[in-house]
Amino acid sequence: MTTLTVLPENYAIALKLIDEAHAQDPNTTPGPDGGPIPYELHYAQEMTRWLAIHTPDASPALQLACRAQHFRRWELPRSSYPKTRSGYLMWRAKAKSLAAQHLTTLLSSPAITPPIPESEIEYIASLVRKEGLRATSTKPRDSIETAPSQQEIDAQAVEDVACLVFLTQQFESYSTTGNGAAIDDDKWVNILRKTWAKMGERGRELALGVVEALGERGKRLVVRAVSGDEKGEN
């Protein structure tokens, strides 16, 4: 099994504190042993698992950013915003902002010794806000010709990993729209095209490798999404 670089002691303490916060999520999902596990803790563990496959030499900052991607998201449920596209975008922007704020506070805790530098904390928070992502393109984002900065590389890694977790963990359960209506094939193809457009070259390579696990409908929809010329709206 692919593993990540061992974290320095202070980053390991930070990761433990992040997981303790995730464990407060009242929403649960079946864990590896079949018993219930707090949903955000499960999600965070999956983010780390995929990061190890995607970027095994990930820096401590990138490891924490992935682990905290949905930090305390249960405190801002999607249902608190209108069930519209604009409502979704407002909710998503607020969720990222709040996650970064809460994480900044946690990473500044005196329980973390030696302290994580302020500049590093801000960098981690910026990755949680997904700052540095390049504009959506029909090409993988990391194939655009100008050399990417480290911020762009790390932000793309976070985005790739989140997309892989969506495909492998949330595809089947994400079966209805916000108003409870079933999502038809055309809507799914649009969702998958948007997901594909967000991913870099490494993310797309890994995504194609998990198609077999999506079932017959999932495979058919992914093939439609990635083979068509039409680009989903961002």
Say what the pLDDT of residue 222 is.
Answer: 85
Q: What angle do CA 143, 128, 141 make, to 5 degrees?
A: 10
Residue 179, token pair as written in the block: 């108003």
Q: What is the 8-class DSSP label of residue 30?
A: E
pTM over 0.75: yes
Say what the pLDDT of residue 229 is.
Answer: 41
Residue 206: band (very low, low, confident or very high) from pLDDT cuts 50, 70, 90 = very high
Q: Decide which of 50 and 216 is more confident.
A: 50
Say what the pLDDT of residue 58 is.
Answer: 98
Domain range annotation of the chain:
1-131, 151-228
Q: What is the pLDDT of residues 162-192, one digit of tens each?
A: 999 998 887 766 554 554 456 778 888 888 8
Say what the pLDDT of residue 234 is.
Answer: 30
HEC profile for 174-234?
CCECCCCCECCHHHHHHHHHHHHHHCCHHHHHHHHHCHHHHHHHHHHHHHHHHHCCCCCCC
Q: What is the pLDDT of residues 104-160, one digit of tens each?
A: 999 999 999 999 999 999 999 999 999 998 754 445 555 556 788 999 999 999 999
Nearest Cα neighbor of 103 from 13, 8, 17 is 17
